Structure 1
Amino acid sequence: MMYRLKKILLPTLLLAIVCSSCRSNKTIPYFKNIPESEYNKIRQSAFTEPTILPDDILDITIQTAELTASNSINEAATNNSVVAAGGQQRVTGFVVDKEGEVELPILGRMKLAGLTSYEARNLIREKAKKYLIQPTVQVRFVNFKVTIIGEVGRPSSYTMPSERVTVLDAIGLAGDLTIYGKRENVLLIRETPEGKEMVRFNLNDSKLFDSPYYYLKQNDIIYVEPSKGKIASAESSRFSMLAVIASLASTVVLIITRL
């Protein structure tokens, strides 16, 4: 009996090892179509600064020799705290309203939607010159957030410290793809004024670097689809559990009928 069991299990184990090695060799490495001699010749997409959108949260800092006026603006930003997505964290800053405007103490309402942070900084500085002496202005996104879900090590939403964020940066923050992630079919979902825009990437192809979607924008979502192997494994586990439940139920019924 033991001999027959070994005879059945050994080929099955060898087949599983061969299948898993084929999966790792064929789909785990990135950018397999780049010859080593061409590593320094890859074209890369130009970075385009993201523009301010309604519901964005901005950190606006104005410094000047007139400390009283400067403090009133910066204290307003500190007091203007909002709850971030999910209600987990409070952040400070000025919220861009539905009309694309923010309201600053002393300076009043200003339309910033559609501008980059650099353009917004120049606009605020010009208006501040009417009230303050030699003002210096800093504007940055507080809620520059991207979400990575699916077959990655740490699926979550991540707030980025910089506006210059690439697809690879986001994947790295999420702990890279698992061995079950489909590297040839990564989905990017982007919210635009016209609606949702969906783009698929192939991480095995160096053309990713030259894609206009290589650099991310605020609130982008990256979804890594599970491979057929992962889906089959999950289905197998589910069927195995159903078989165990059915076996237990049959045993219970058999015991009851014999009482």
Structure 2
Amino acid sequence: MNKLIIQKKIQFNCFLFMLSVFMASCVSNKKIAYFQDIQTINKAKLDSAVIFTEPIIQTDDILSISIFTLNPQSGAVVNQAASAPLLGGNSATTSVQQQSTGFLVDKNGEVELALIGKIKVAGLTTYQARELVREKVSIFFKEPTVQLRFANFKVSVLGEVNAPSTYTLPNEKVSILDALSLAGDLTIYGRRENVLIVRDNEGKKEFARLDLNSSNIFNSPFYYLRQNDVVYVEPNKRKVSASNSAQIQTIGVIASVISVIVLAISNFK
């Protein structure tokens, strides 16, 4: 009789162990697929999707400015200041800090170019700043060509993604989907319906929540990211359940081992 009871206990412990494993592996597809309502949206809604606007240059940004003239040596004099390394952001594949080269926008919103002097660029788009620099350079050089872009356009992606890091990008047109792609997409435990965006707008923090399960994301002013935006993906309840399941599995294994030992001792007697 005692042996039968012990065997039933062992079977029950094994059942609990298999049940905990099964529950931890169960994931609803309804919370994984992106843009689940994409089949039902109409053309009018698509046409109203947010339009990309160029980001605004702010203080402490680093700009890559290259000036080309008919005399290459003359342009080299202006560009040489950009060859000095400045502490910038991180590459698109690592979170280790590295050095960036470019012209730092100082606290007055100005960059200083050799021979040209200080030019106020804060508050301008890169296109507006490029035209302003071209205008200033034209005083000294004939028919100059100016290239200007962000050298430290970076976004940080944190939380339940496969590769959390800070990413420095060569392109200033970056969407939330681009950033998540760089970070290797969300893990199975990421909350797709509540992705947080933290934005620094002239010293003030702005917050937004985006639902990746809905096509409404395309209408959000936070769909396109700005430099220094932070994307945070919260863990869902399954993350907590998975942690608890690991503990339950451990307890189940220990209980099973103990039951087997007890049964062996009973048989020996």
Give the 5 Å matches for 1:190-209: 190-209=199-218
TM-score by length of 1: 0.84
> Is contact 2:195–2:231 with CA below 8 Å preserved after alignment?
yes
TM-score by length of 2: 0.81
Q: Which sections of structure 2, spanning at least 5 residues, go unmatched?
A: 1-5, 91-95, 252-269
Q: Which amino acid aligns with 1:24?
A: S
Whole-angstrom distance in 2 between the partners of 1:91 and 1:2: 68
> What does residue 144 of structure 2 align with?
135
Cα distance, 1:95 vs. partner? Answer: 0.3
Cα distance, 1:34 vs. partner? Answer: 1.8
Give the 5 Å matches for 1:1-259: 1-2=6-7, 4-10=9-15, 13-14=18-19, 16-17=21-22, 20-21=25-26, 23-35=27-39, 42=46, 43-78=48-83, 80-85=84-89, 88-234=97-243
Larger radius of gyration: 2
> Is contact 1:24–1:179 with CA below 8 Å preserved after alignment?
no
Counterparts in 2 of 1:14 and 1:238: CA distance versus 1, 3 Å: closer
Structure 1 runs (4+) deviating above 3 angstroms are 1-4, 36-41, 232-242
> Is contact 2:192–2:211 with CA below 8 Å preserved after alignment?
yes
Deviates more, 1:46-55 or 1:26-35: 26-35
Deviates more, 1:43-52 or 1:132-141: 43-52
Q: Deviations for 1:41-72, whole angstroms, at most 9, x for unmatched residues? A: 63421001001100000000000112222011
Counterparts in 2 of 1:72 and 1:30: CA distance versus 1, 3 Å: same
Deviates more, 1:99-108 or 1:1-10: 1-10
> Is contact 1:59–1:93 with CA below 8 Å preserved after alignment?
yes
Q: Deviations for 1:117-169, whole angstroms, at most 9, x for unmatched residues? A: 10001001011111001000000001000000000000000011101000000
What RMSD in Å do the two structures reach over aligned CA positions?
2.5
Whole-angstrom distance in 2 between the partners of 1:8 and 1:210: 51
Cα distance, 1:211 vs. partner? Answer: 0.8
Aligned residues, how many?
240
> Is contact 2:189–2:239 with CA below 8 Å preserved after alignment?
yes
Q: Percent identity among equivalent residues?
A: 46
> Is contact 2:89–2:167 with CA below 8 Å preserved after alignment?
no
Q: Which amino acid aligns with 2:37?
A: N
> Is contact 1:180–1:230 with CA below 8 Å preserved after alignment?
yes
> Is contact 1:66–1:133 with CA below 8 Å preserved after alignment?
no
Whole-angstrom distance in 2 between the partners of 1:134 and 1:232: 65
Cα distance, 1:12 vs. partner? Answer: 5.0
Q: Secondary structure at the match of 2:63?
A: strand
